[in-house]
Chain A
Amino acid sequence: MTATALTTDRPAVSRRPIRHGRPLTWVSGVGFGVTMMWFSLLVLIPLAAVVATAAAGGWSNFWDAVTSEQTLAAIELTVGTAFGVTVVNVFMGTLIAWVLVRDRFFGKRVLEVLIDIPFALPTIVAGLVLLALYGPITPIGVDIANTRGAVFLAFQFVTLPFVVRTVQPVLAELDRDVEEAAMSLGASRFTVFRRIILPSLTPAIAAGAALSFARGVSEYGSLVLFSGNLPMKTEVASVRILSSIENDNLDSAAAVATILLVISFIVLVVVDTLQRRLVRRG
């Protein structure tokens, strides 16, 4: 370690201490056991079952299922839209969180509560509301029902709170001194945001983005009425899975689910890695 080093890639100097396996105490052993059991029952075993079902049909069946034109279109639409919606959420969610934390205005409390409505509302109701407002009987002259815009809007509606809710508490906890210190060192408002505030928010934004993406990929209720489920056009992966099941084609349903699972997993890992990089770069 030299005093002159100004570079960021340096040997890990007790930056992230590595814990070597320590024997569990009795209490932490029980805690660990319960956690694993709970997690296994709710997540691991069902997921394994999905993958097993997909595999049971054999490789060629699996391949046929996931490469059918209709399935590919559904997966592409789902992942692409979830990605687009997440990008919008990163900007809008951060902006909304900023306004909620830093600004004072009339009705702030009400807005605080309203942000959570997409969480609380049954998604099918959300679909009905969107259909009424932006569908054929629109009172404002915007009819996007049965288009890809409908899918985007429905995703946008249900994923709205994620980034807001992850960023807001972190932003509220930020030390104003730090911003003032940067300002007195000559940093403009924009530089303070980019170099001081944003690095602190990045983990929260990444967490919100990951949740938002995952929610988008899995969405069903809000768009089943609104998007029309037109094959090759507005049919999303979850709807495709349901129609496979209804046609008694469990293998195909499991195959699509497995692909979605893999894509979600990759995206979550990428988001996490990206986030760590950004924070370190400062």
Chain B
Amino acid sequence: MSIEITGVSKRFGDFVALDDVSVSIPSGGLTALLGPSGGGKSTLLRIIAGLETADTGRVEIEGVDATRLSPQKRNVGFVFQHYAAFKHLSVARNVAFGLEIRKKPKEEIRARVDELLKLVHLSQFADRLPAQLSGGQRQRMALARALAVQPSVLLLDEPFGALDAKVRKELRDWLRRLHDEVHVTTVFVTHDQEEALEVADEIVVINEGRVEQVGSPDELYDQPANDFVMRFLGPVTELGDRLVRPHDLQLLTDSTDPGAVSGRVKRITRIGFEIRVEVAVGEQDVTVTLTRNEFLALDLRVGSEVQVRVAPEVGAVQGRPEAVGAV
């Protein structure tokens, strides 16, 4: 394990940011700390970096107890949401900063900076000032700067949070590919479940200062440990007392399946390739999402009588909400 966090708690005044958190982060992986804003994930990242100190607990990085180590001595690379560029230094000198601090020979610095700028596709901007770069370019510069010192772990705090949707998506793909090339143990904080599911090898869901679940994207999506994780990772709807994903439900006409329940179509909304059908089942409104072809085959209208059931393939993989807490 590259990072071992044991029993870490942190308070800011009355606010409990982290409450007895223990997590192991594997070497060489890309791990997401996922959770809603104010849930403590950034605090955990800053404690790993040494930018905050834990009230209690222990942080180990690569087998070394780092709990009381200053940020300068932890050898971690940190990337901030708002880039934290050194505004008065050129892109190349930003990247060179950590190496200059370490008093590396000039030739070595030059070669390393060159290599890194190539890696983040900023070679032609080496002499620009950060203010002359776009947000995405600035964040890539920040990443190169953090990687320059060959950190044992790379920490990214909402790295794409300040970028617009399109750039965010590009950088996400790019980060994944970069990680496959560089293999440094990477932890990034995000509140965007899609980002975590798409990029990470492993996801740690954090809410209200506690770890809710740790697992691969598939495990989290298919076997959420509890209602919170289920709701946070994707859309949900209730059928009877069961919490299910709307795309795991089927609509049938003329079904004799005893597991299906009858209802009446209340509203039909089309969002691109997806059709969202709201069905009134007794007192409950159940949401079902269908593909366009499924929808056309059923020939549904508002007011149609339908039967709703959980798709038979689903039961096998999906955890049930009654199993809450059984991590």
Contacts and interface: CB of A to CB of B under 8 A. Distances in A.
Contacts of B110: 4, 6
B149 A196 contact: no
Contacts of A113: none
How many B residues are at the interface, by size bracket?
35 or more
Interface residues of A, number: 31
A29 B263 CA distance: 73
A175 B87 CA distance: 11
B49 interface: yes
B102 A186 contact: yes
Contacts of B87: 178, 200
Contact of B132 (A2, A3, A4, A14): A14
Contact of A282 (B82, B88, B113, B128): B88
B78 A6 contact: no
Contacts of A5: 92, 126-127
B72 interface: yes
Specify which of B70, B101, B145 lies most central, judged by the most chain A CB atoms within 10 Å of its CB: B101
A191 B97 CA distance: 11
A200 B71 CA distance: 23
B86 A182 contact: yes
B126 A180 contact: no
Nearest to B88: A199
A282 B89 contact: yes
Q: Which of B76, B124, B126 counts the most A-chain CB atoms under 10 A from its CB?
A: B126
Contact of A177 (B84, B113, B127): B84
B85 A6 contact: no
A107 B51 CA distance: 29
Nearest to A279: B88
A188 interface: yes
Given A5-B92, A177-B84, A184 B126 contact: no
B251 to A, nearest CB: 50
A1 B124 contact: yes
Interface of A: 1-6, 8, 10, 13-15, 175, 177-178, 180-188, 191, 195-196, 199-200, 279-280, 282
Given A14-B132, A185-B149, A279-B88, A180 B117 contact: no
28 contacts: A1-B124, A3-B124, A3-B126, A4-B110, A5-B92, A8-B93, A13-B127, A15-B129, A177-B82, A178-B86, A180-B80, A181-B86, A181-B142, A182-B97, A183-B51, A183-B70, A183-B71, A183-B72, A184-B50, A184-B51, A184-B74, A186-B102, A187-B72, A187-B101, A191-B101, A195-B97, A282-B86, A282-B89
A163 B109 CA distance: 37
Contacts of B123: 3
B101 A184 contact: no
Contacts of A199: 88
A15 B126 CA distance: 13
Contacts of B76: 184
Given A5-B127, A13-B128, A184 B78 contact: yes
Residue of A6, A181, A182 with highest tally of chain B CB at under 10 A? A181
